[in-house]
């Protein structure tokens, strides 16, 4: 007798759609969490855990975590041991972004915070700006803003106190070079600040002061030099004293304009290969001198170094800062920014300025109280003598 085969079919259990969604989300979360743990490591996780503990376990529920994070991030970046990397608060990040565009709301001055204990030393005044209209001049020291002293440690807060919304006013107390004091009132406005300014000196020598390498700097510089050449300039003095640098792209365009064919800039990023920027054969065919000081940084140093390396241009002034790293400023979720050194840079020939700076061919200090580019500027007088 033949047996009848009985096939038993087991019915699969099906998960409802919502369960599949939840399971997929959990698996994705676990995977991403694991990747974050690998990326952060123990130190990174410790920072995250500390923030969560402060948020949910700290006894003072209304603690100012925003300020705590600002201080913590600032300390972390400083802890890297790189004097060129920095952390910016939300307000500082907005201000830096505006400054680098060479357009900002303020009174139209650039200042040095570390030159005078009494306050902020006015370096340049934008022609036609609020400060210029109020009679502020280079060499003045801003000692107070709306009655708040800017002396000593308060100098670091000076920019925040002087800037503000367009149309508002600020009263500045000035210490004049002759020792007198005066209060002036400025109406804040949008100020467009060209990077370069030029004029003709005795002997048909053109003089161009280049304040920074921010947006539009190369075009501003070229316009000034071209204007001087049209006026019959027989030589050119390029002044980058107190120039804090700026964008690499502005530097390379400026060097390409000035120098003949050849290598003009080398950058060595952490990731990837070194790259060398080349200049074309078009150039400014004039004898040149470049002026520097201790506050000549970054792109400004490289400009002077490359002019000497490529064309034998003499340098006048003081030993420069010795900066050789390029920074990228990364925007952060809290509104601030982290500026980190991500590349080393050198001259086209591969020479680095890190830790050594530029030693001028004619080395001398600026006369005390002298204004840059003024009649009493002994460094400028020394630069002029090189054309004789």
Topology match between the domains 103-192 and 196-385: no
Q: What integer is the mean pLDDT of 146-164? A: 88
Taking all residues of the chain, what is their mean pLDDT, rounded to a whole number? 87
Alpha-carbon distance of 156 to 154, in angstroms, equals 5
Tokens of 23: 């399971």
Q: Does the pLDDT at position 301 exceed 60?
A: yes
Beta bridge partner(s), residue 276: 266
Task: Give domain 196-385's CATH superfamily.
Answer: 2-enoyl-CoA Hydratase; Chain A, domain 1 (3.90.226.10)
Beta bridge partner(s), residue 266: 276, 346
pLDDT given for residue 1 in this prediction: 37
In the numeric block, the tokens 């200049």 are attached to 279
Query: How distant, in Å, are the alpha carbons of 6, 13, 16, 161 from that of 10?
Result: 13, 9, 19, 78
Structural domain boundaries of the chain? 31-56+63-76, 103-192, 196-385
For 103-192, which CATH class? mainly beta
Tokens of 74: 């600032």
**283-294: b (≥16 Cβ within 10 Å) or e:** bbeeebbbbbbb
* Cβ partners under 8 Å of residue 136, min gap 6: 107, 109, 122, 125, 142, 172, 174, 184, 186
Q: At what angle do helices 298-311 and 248-258 cross, to 10 degrees?
A: 20
The 10s digit of each residue's pLDDT in 95-119 is 788 778 777 788 988 888 878 899 9
pLDDT given for residue 21 in this prediction: 66
The 10s digit of each residue's pLDDT in 129-144 is 899 999 999 889 999 9
DSSP 345-361: EE-TT----TTT----S
Alpha-carbon distance of 131 to 243, in angstroms, equals 20
Tokens of 115: 């030159």
pTM of the model: 0.73
Query: In the chain, what's the furthest Cα-to-Cα distance?
Result: 128
Q: What integer is the mean pLDDT of 272-294? A: 94
Range in 81-85, 98-102, 216-220 the model is least confident about: 98-102
Is the Cα dihedral 90, 331, 341, 363 positive or negative?
A: negative
pLDDT given for residue 267 in this prediction: 92
Closest CA to 214 of 47, 310, 99, 301: 99
pLDDT given for residue 53 in this prediction: 87
């Amino acid at each position: 007798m033949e047996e009848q085969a009985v096939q038993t079919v087991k019915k699969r259990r099906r998960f409802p759609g919502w369960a599949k969604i939840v399971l997929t989300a959990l698996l994705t979360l676990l995977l991403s969490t694991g990747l974050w743990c690998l990326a952060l490591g123990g130190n990174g996780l410790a920072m995250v855990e500390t923030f969560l503990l402060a948020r949910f376990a700290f006894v003072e529920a209304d603690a100012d975590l925003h300020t705590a994070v600002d201080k913590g991030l600032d300390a972390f970046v400083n802890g890297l041991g790189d004097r060129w990397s920095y952390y910016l608060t939300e307000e500082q990040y907005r201000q830096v972004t505006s400054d680098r565009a060479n357009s900002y709301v303020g009174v139209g001055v650039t200042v040095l915070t570390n030159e005078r204990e009494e306050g902020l030393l006015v370096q340049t005044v934008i022609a036609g700006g609020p400060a210029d209209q109020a009679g502020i001049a280079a060499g003045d020291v801003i000692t107070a803003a709306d009655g708040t002293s800017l002396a000593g440690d308060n100098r670091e807060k000076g920019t925040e106190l002087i800037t503000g919304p367009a149309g508002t006013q600020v009263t500045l107390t000035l210490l004049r070079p002759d020792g007198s004091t005066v209060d002036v009132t400025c109406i804040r406005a949008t100020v467009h600040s060209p990077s370069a300014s030029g004029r003709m000196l005795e002997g048909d020598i053109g003089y161009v002061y280049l304040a920074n390498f921010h947006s539009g700097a190369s075009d501003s510089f070229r316009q000034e030099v071209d204007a001087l050449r049209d006026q019959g300039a027989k030589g050119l003095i390029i002044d980058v004293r107190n120039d804090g640098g700026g964008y690499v792209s502005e530097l390379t365009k400026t060097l390409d304009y000035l120098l003949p064919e050849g290598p003009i800039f080398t950058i060595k990023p952490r990731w990837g290969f070194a790259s060398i920027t080349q200049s074309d054969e078009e150039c400014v065919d004039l004898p040149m001198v470049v002026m520097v000081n201790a506050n000549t940084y970054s792109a400004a140093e490289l400009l002077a170094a490359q002019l000497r390396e490529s064309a034998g241009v003499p340098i006048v002034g003081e030993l420069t800062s010795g900066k050789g790293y390029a920074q990228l400023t990364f925007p952060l979720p809290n509104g601030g920014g982290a500026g980190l050194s991500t590349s080393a840079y050198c001259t086209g020939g591969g020479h680095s300025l890190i830790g050594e700076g530029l030693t001028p061919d004619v080395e001398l200090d600026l006369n005390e109280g002298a204004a840059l580019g003024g009649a009493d500027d002994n460094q400028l007088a020394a630069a002029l003598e090189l054309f004789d």
